[in-house]
């Protein structure tokens, strides 16, 4: 669940113009929540007032402020996995925007409402989320806020972990949760973890993407597929 500690920051990123549609200019803001330095991403297209929120963290008031200050309304909360640092803001955002669906991989849905499975019980502060509104599965493509994302399942850090990939952009963008980090990978020592599954999934489902693909991880700075293939000490050297 936890990877690094960081101060709460907010940064904005604009992808290069995508090859498929010259009008699509995705904007991205990152909110880093204490105490685990978890990255929540807010993504939207120019000319639209809807957005996506990836993995609402434990400081939801900062997420709400980031969204509302830009005049946006979330079209969906997209959850990579059910560990508590990635779902801690779901309830607050759902209360603020009741029509915003919670989207998560089918294999992770039970963690939303179970503090033991989402690991928050281990910290003595049980955290739960409202249940999922939409379950996604490997290979599915979903459309929210003008963006089409492909779902790929990569277990190993958490058994039903999914990543969301925006394939239409230049560069391609991966909202990767706790699968692949800059110079590291997600922890595999949790009850449903597996290094072998995680390494295999990274090689088969991420390292096949273009080298300039931007990876937006659940903790730490963004990286690229090419950089991790070359230098990642856990799965690189390819």
Distance, in Å, from the CA atom of 101 to the CA atom of 40, rounded to the nearest integer, reads 16
Distance, in Å, from the CA atom of 50 to the CA atom of 102, rounded to the nearest integer, reads 15
Determine, yes or no, domain membership for 134: yes
Indicate whether 49 pLDDT > 60.
yes
The CA–CA distances, whole Å, from 17 to 24, 43, 45, 73, 205 equal 7, 15, 11, 23, 24
User: pLDDT by residue (tens digit) across 107-152?
Assistant: 999 999 999 999 999 888 899 999 999 999 999 999 999 999 999 9
Q: Which helix (H) or strand (E) holds 79?
A: strand 73-79
Determine, yes or no, domain membership for 5: no
pLDDT of residue 18: 41
User: Where residue 218 sits, what CATH number does that domain have?
Assistant: 3.60.15.10
Is residue 209 a contact partner of residue 165, using CB atoms and an 8 Å limit? yes
Determine, yes or no, domain membership for 171: yes
Determine, yes or no, domain membership for 60: yes
Determine, yes or no, domain membership for 15: yes
Tokens at 182, concatenated: 């800059």
Indicate whether 44 pLDDT > 80.
yes
Determine, yes or no, domain membership for 237: no
- What is the number of domains present in the chain? 1
Determine, yes or no, domain membership for 96: yes
Indicate whether 36 pLDDT > 70.
yes
Determine, yes or no, domain membership for 2: no
Write out the residue range of the structural domain in which residue 166 sits: 10-231
The CA–CA distances, whole Å, from 57 to 8, 31, 63, 75 equal 11, 8, 8, 17
User: pLDDT by residue (tens digit) across 56-115?
Assistant: 999 999 999 999 999 999 999 999 999 999 999 999 999 999 999 999 999 999 999 999
Beta-bridge partner residues of 105: 136
């Amino acid at each position: 669940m936890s990877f690094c500690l960081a101060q709460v920051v907010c940064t904005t990123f604009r992808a290069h113009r995508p090859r498929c549609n010259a009008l699509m200019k995705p904007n991205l803001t990152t909110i880093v929540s204490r105490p685990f330095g978890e990255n929540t991403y807010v993504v939207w297209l120019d000319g639209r007032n809807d957005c996506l929120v990836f993995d609402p963290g434990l400081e939801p008031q900062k997420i709400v402020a980031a969204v509302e200050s830009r005049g946006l309304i979330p079209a969906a909360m997209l959850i990579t996995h059910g560990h508590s640092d990635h779902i801690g803001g779901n309830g607050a955002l759902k209360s603020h925007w009741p029509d915003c669906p919670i989207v998560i991989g089918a294999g992770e849905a039970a963690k939303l409402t179970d503090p033991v499975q989402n690991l928050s019980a281990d910290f003595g502060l049980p955290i739960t989320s409202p249940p999922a509104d939409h379950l996604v599965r490997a290979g599915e493509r979903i459309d929210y806020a003008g963006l089409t994302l492909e779902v790929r399942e990569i277990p190993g850090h958490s058994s039903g972990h999914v990543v969301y990939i925006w394939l239409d952009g230049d560069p391609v963008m991966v909202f990767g949760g706790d699968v692949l980090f800059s110079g590291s990978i997600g922890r595999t020592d949790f009850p449903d973890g597996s290094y072998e599954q995680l390494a295999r999934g990274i090689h088969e489902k991420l390292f096949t993407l273009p080298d300039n693909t931007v990876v937006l991880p659940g903790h730490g700075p963004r990286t690229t597929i090419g950089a991790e293939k070359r230098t990642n000490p856990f799965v690189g050297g390819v």
